[in-house]
Amino acid sequence: NAGVTQTPKFRVLKTGQSMTLLCAQDMNHEYMYWYRQDPGMGLRLIHYSVGEGTTAKGEVPDGYNVSRLKKQNFLLGLESAAPSQTSVYFCASSYSWAGFPEYEQYFGPGTRLTVT
């Protein structure tokens, strides 16, 4: 199993450009998450999904959109990139049972995004 993969690993954008980050998991997990990690701060949840076709906002959703058209994929979009979105982005997935999300989260390797 590949686990959780992220594409791309690195990206440099100019202010105002758009891009999509792809997260894929092969563990048949229902729950998927997008986090950002900034220096001196803990991981912060951007958006999450509890199943195919469903998405919800996390702690810091502004400036991002997401889609979960297939169970194994979770896409994070930046419509108009800003320097404040320079960060490392992590995708994660987890199993759930009866809607109970409390299982370990499996993380992707991260995407380092710089917006100039």
Partner 1 sequence: KNEVEQSPQNLTAQEGEFITINCSYSVGISALHWLQQHPGGGIVSLFMLSSGKKKHGRLIATINIQEKHSSLHITASHPRDSAVYICAVRYSGGGADGLTFGKGTHLIIQP
Residues binding partner 1 (CB under 8 A): 31, 40-45, 48, 50, 56, 58-59, 88, 90, 92, 96, 101-107, 109-110
Least spacing, CB of residue 16 vs partner 1, in Å: 27
Residue 109, preceding bond cis, omega within 30 degrees?
Answer: no
Nearest residue (CB) to partner 1, 22 versus 45: 45
**C-alpha of 7 from chain center:** 11
Nearest residue (CB) to partner 1, 81 versus 89: 89
Task: Give the separation between CA 107 and CA 105, rounded to whole angstroms.
Answer: 6
Nearest residue (CB) to partner 1, 80 versus 114: 114
Q: Is 83 left (phi over 0), alpha (psi -120 to 50) or beta?
A: alpha
